[in-house]
Amino acid sequence: MTIHNNILTVTISRLGAELKSIKNKANYEYLWQADPVFWNRTSPILFPIVGALKNNTYNYNQKTYTLPRHGFARDTNFKSTQLSNTEALFTLTATPETLEVYPFNFKLQICYKLKGSLLHCTYTVFNLGNINMPFSIGGHPAFALKDENISNYSLEFNEDCILNCLELTSDGLISSSKKSISLVNQQLTLDKELFNKDALVFRDLKSNQIALKNKTNTQGIIMTFNDFSHFGIWSAPNAPFICLEPWCGIADVENHTQNIEDKEGIINLQPKTSIKKSWQIEIL
C-alpha cells in the first residue's frame, strides 16, 4: 500500500505493517532497502515483546510460553485499510495461533499518516479481554546511509550530553554492565565500533528528539518520540544503515524471573481499554 502527498511517497507492506520505502519528490530513498547481506528487514513492529526473552520463554498464570525475539507481529499479515491518499491503517487481532503463544485477546492498529514533510506512526493497542494484558511495543525503522564512510554521519540529541548505555549479553539479554558515552555538542559521531556488542540501549534518555545528519546536512531526518520508556540504536556490522528505535520495554535482564508481568517496561493494560504510542519522522 502507498500513501503520498506533494513531498513524500511512502510504501507499507501488509506483512508486519512494515514501512518499506520513504521517498521524496527527487526519488531519494531514506529507508534502508533490506539487503539480506546485512539485514533483510526495513522497519519491523515489535509486539507483544521488545527484545529477547530469557531462554525465549516467559511465565504467565503458572504456564510457560515461547516467543521469538521482538515477538510475532513483524512476521504476521495485517488487514490494511486505505483511509485516504495520505493515511493508511493496519490491523492485527488475536487468532488461535497467537493465543497459543500469547494468551490475550488483543487488537493492534498501526496508523501511518503524512502531513507535509512529516510521517506520523501511531500504535494503538486494545485489550479486548477481561483480564489485564501485559505487553511491550516498539519501532525499529532503519535509515539508509548513502555515504560509504559512516563517520560522516552523526546523531544529534536535543537534551542529552551523556548517553548511559545498557549492554547486551551474547544471547541478547540486558547484562549488568553499563557504559557512558560523552557527546560533543550533543552529537554522537557514528562509528563501526559502536555496535560491536549489538545495540545501544537506553532507559533514561532525556531527549525526545534525535536528528540523523551527514556533514553536508542533506538528506537527513529528525525522529521525535514521546512517552516511550526505552530507546535503542543499532546497525549490523559494516552495514550502511542506522536504526532509531523508540520502545516501551526491553529484553529480559540476565537474572529475570521470566514472569511477564514483572518484565521491565511492560505495560499492563486493563480490560476493555486501549493505549496509544506514537513517533514521527521529519524529512529534511
- Per-residue pLDDT of 112-144, as tens digits, reads 999 999 999 999 999 999 999 999 999 999 999
- Per-residue pLDDT of 55-66, as tens digits, reads 999 999 999 999
Place of cell 508481568: 261
Name the band, by pLDDT with cuts 50, 70 and 90, for residue 193.
confident
Name the pTM for this structure. 0.96
Domains of the chain by start residue, with CATH: 2-283 (2.70.98.10)
CB 140 within 8 A of CB 43: yes
- Per-residue pLDDT of 77-117, as tens digits, reads 999 999 999 999 999 999 999 999 999 999 999 999 999 99
Would you list the DSSP string of 5-50?
-SSEEEEE-SBTT-EEEEEETT--B-B----TTT-S-SS-EEBS--
Q: How far apart are CA 84 and CA 87, in angstroms?
A: 5
For residue 226, pLDDT over 70 is answered with yes
CB 16 within 8 A of CB 45: yes
Q: How far apart are CA 261 and CA 265, in angstroms?
A: 10
Q: In 3-state terms, what secondary structure has residue 148?
A: coil
CB 258 within 8 A of CB 242: no
36: its cell numbers: 539480506
For residue 200, pLDDT over 70 is answered with yes
Asked if residue 134 has a cis previous peptide bond (ω within 30° of 0), the answer is no
Dmax of the chain from CA atoms? 56
